[in-house]
């Protein structure tokens, strides 16, 4: 998988110290985050993952690429019909054991749907395919349907309500009215609130907007941009859990949305606050900036531009193996090392067909 650089091994105390001595910079460019950009998780079964997310959840495979640091592994990108920022759920294909669940991790990924009728359609759809889902519940004032993918990735369908943008995919097996609209909210488990609160509010500019209880647990909601589930992080404080161990069915990192115009200002802002980061990283489809918050969860700030049509037309996104220019000379070698995937119609790829 794409490995974070060595600075991510610094102790959390170093980050807390950096925050304690950092200074506000009111004369510098004010930048804000618009919402969730994408979430990247881990699969140990790329063909099965592709089948579930395209044929069961009805998402569009908008980019079939490889891990830029390990070209033997796919990097699969699923999104809405137009590959809109904020709808993108991606997976590293990595041969690892299952995640050991715990704190210091993203523990649930919200997937937005239009209304209560859609939620009930999904309950029937999942049941008809033998997928176990929890009963519909109200959480934080919204209706939710919790379920897991075949590797244990924890997912929740969340009613977004009227007025949210929707870009359905014409070839999806899910009716347009019920298709997943995008990501959000994301739920993070942390052992203590204060250090993550400092990063979210003082550095990233999120606002604490409310709390809600689930049994004995309290979840703190932070909002950015225009608000709503597409722009919320939910922090669940769980001091008695052991740390999670990364693996299949777990989340690798979350990414928040910025623009190309504001990207350099975010690089400067992290540096001014003394927060170790990757520095600028060009992922070809967007520019990235990685850092860990003090409880150990990997964050990315990613640009909306240029997007997934940088190297493919919108109409044929995801139909061939896409490689960034620096990997294109190795195409034949890379293709030979990848497993075939099932296309969305469920028919096996024929020998010799382009991956």
Block means of pLDDT (10 residues each) for the chain, length 355 residues? Answer: 40 47 50 97 97 97 93 96 98 96 98 97 97 96 98 98 89 97 98 98 98 95 97 97 98 98 97 96 96 98 97 96 95 92 50 33
Any domain includes 302: yes
Supply angle C-alpha 189, 191, 195, rounded to 5: 100
**217-223/207-214 β-pairing:** antiparallel
Any domain includes 353: no
Any domain includes 355: no
User: In whole angstroms, how far apart are CA 350 and each of 75, 169, 343, 346, 355?
Assistant: 21, 25, 11, 12, 10
Is the torsion defined by CA of 191, 193, 195, 200 positive or negative?
A: positive
Any domain includes 346: no
pLDDT tens-digit map of 83-121: 999 999 999 999 999 999 999 999 999 999 999 999 999
Pure H helices in the chain: 12-21, 46-51, 116-128, 194-198, 260-272, 331-336
Any domain includes 226: yes
Give me the pLDDT at residue 18, please: 45
305 in Cβ contact with 284 (< 8 Å): no
Any domain includes 307: yes
What domain count does the chain have?
1
Any domain includes 158: yes
Domain residues for the domain of 66 are 6-336
Kindly provide the b/e burial profile for residues 237-259, where b requires at least 16 CB atoms within 10 angstroms of the residue's own CB: bbeebeebebbbbbbbbbbbbbb
pLDDT tens-digit map of 184-221: 999 999 999 999 999 999 999 999 999 999 999 999 99
pTM above threshold 0.85: yes
What's the CA gap between 148 and 9, in Å, rounded? 31
Any domain includes 351: no
| Residue linked to tokens 């054991």 | 97
**281-282/182-190 β-pairing:** unpaired
What's the CA gap between 264 and 325, in Å, rounded? 23
* CATH code for the domain in which residue 282 is found: 3.10.180.10
Residue of 1, 6, 33, 68 lying closest to 278 (CA atoms): 6
Token couple for 341: 């995937």
């Amino acid at each position: 998988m794409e490995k974070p650089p060595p600075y991510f091994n610094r102790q959390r105390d170093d980050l807390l110290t950096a925050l304690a001595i950092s200074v506000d910079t009111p004369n510098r460019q004010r930048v804000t985050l618009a919402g969730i950009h994408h979430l990247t998780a881990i699969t140990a079964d790329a063909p099965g993952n592709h089948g579930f997310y395209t044929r069961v959840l009805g998402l569009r495979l908008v980019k079939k690429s490889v891990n830029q640091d390990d070209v033997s592994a796919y990097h699969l990108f699923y999104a809405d019909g137009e590959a809109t920022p904020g709808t993108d759920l991606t997976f590293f294909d990595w041969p690892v054991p299952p995640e050991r669940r715990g704190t210091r991790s993203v523990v649930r990924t919200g997937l937005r749907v239009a209304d209560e009728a859609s939620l009930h359609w999904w309950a029937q759809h999942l049941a008809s395919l033998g997928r176990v889902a929890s009963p519909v519940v109200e959480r934080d004032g919204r209706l939710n349907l919790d379920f897991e993918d075949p590797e244990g990735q924890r997912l929740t369908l969340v009613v977004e309500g009227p007025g949210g943008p929707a870009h359905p995919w014409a070839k999806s097996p899910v009716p347009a009215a019920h298709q997943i609209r995008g990501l959000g909210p994301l739920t993070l488990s942390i052992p203590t609130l204060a250090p993550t609160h400092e990063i979210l509010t003082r550095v990233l500019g999120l606002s604490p907007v409310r709390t809600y209880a689930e049994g004995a647990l309290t979840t703190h909601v932070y909002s950015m941009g225009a608000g709503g589930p597409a722009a919320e992080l939910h922090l669940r404080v769980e001091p008695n859990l052991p740390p999670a161990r990364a693996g299949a069915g777990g989340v690798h990192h979350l990414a928040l949305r910025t623009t190309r115009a504001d990207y350099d200002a975010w690089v400067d802002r992290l540096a001014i606050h003394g927060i170790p980061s990757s520095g600028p990283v060009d992922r070809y489809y967007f520019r990235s900036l990685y850092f860990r918050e003090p409880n150990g969860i990997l964050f990315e700030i990613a640009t909306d531009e240029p997007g997934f049509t940088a190297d493919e037309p919108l109409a044929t996104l995801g139909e061939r193996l896409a490689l960034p220019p620096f990997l294109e000379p190795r195409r034949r070698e890379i293709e030979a090392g990848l497993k075939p995937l099932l296309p969305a119609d469920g028919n096996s790829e024929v020998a010799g067909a382009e991956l």
